[in-house]
Amino acid sequence: MEEPKDLHSVPIGKGIFVWPIQEGEKPSLLGSRCKSCGTFFYPPISVCHHCYQEETLETVPLSRRGKLYTYTTVQMAPPGFRAPYHIGYVDLAEGVRVFGHMEGELSVGMEMELSLGIIKKNQEGVPVIGPIFRPVQG
């Protein structure tokens, strides 16, 4: 049987999240966890950068929330993007720092939550899906 294909959007990167998201599921970014030393990595890698043992990595979903490390607003859009847009880095509980687009009123240190959404259009005009973080309400 053929896999159902979403012709209206494509994910960014290779294997950094599952796309499309299943009905009722919340998205996570995927990272590597070393079964030997317990260190996490993002994006997924092929050999542990901490203990350098072989065949110790497994792909795992990472925390959906984290603290905003830094951010800025891009005013000049590269091809495919629409300015202005916000970008930044979020520190997750696993000790990894992830890049994504940001939405909402931002300040360094605030709690952010992951969603997936359109961040640009590719050369064929197809929307490209990537991580978008928003401040946690409340």
Partner 1 sequence: MRDVYVIGAAMRRFGKFPDLSVQEMGSEVVWRAIREAQISIRDVQMAYCGHAYQGSTIGQKVLSRLGMTGTPIVNVENACASGTTAAFGIWSAIASGMIDVGIAVGVENLTRKVSGMLPLHPDDLDSSMGRVMPPLFAMIARRHMTEYGTTVEQLAKISVKNHFHGSLNP
Q: Which residues bind partner 1 (CB under 8 A)?
A: 12-13, 16, 43, 69-74, 76-79, 81, 85, 87-89, 99-101, 108-109, 119-120, 130-131
Nearer to partner 1, 19 or 69 (CB): 69
> Which residue, 18 or 74, is less far from partner 1 as judged by CB?
74
Query: What is the smallest separation between the CB atom of 56 and partner 1, expressed in angstroms?
Result: 23
Q: Which is nearer to partner 1, 36 or 74 (CB)?
A: 74
Least Å from the CB of residue 87 to partner 1: 6
Task: Measure the CA–CA gap between 33 and 59, rounded to whole angstroms.
Answer: 6
Of 23 and 124, CB closest to partner 1: 124
Closest approach of partner 1 to the CB of residue 121, in Å:
12
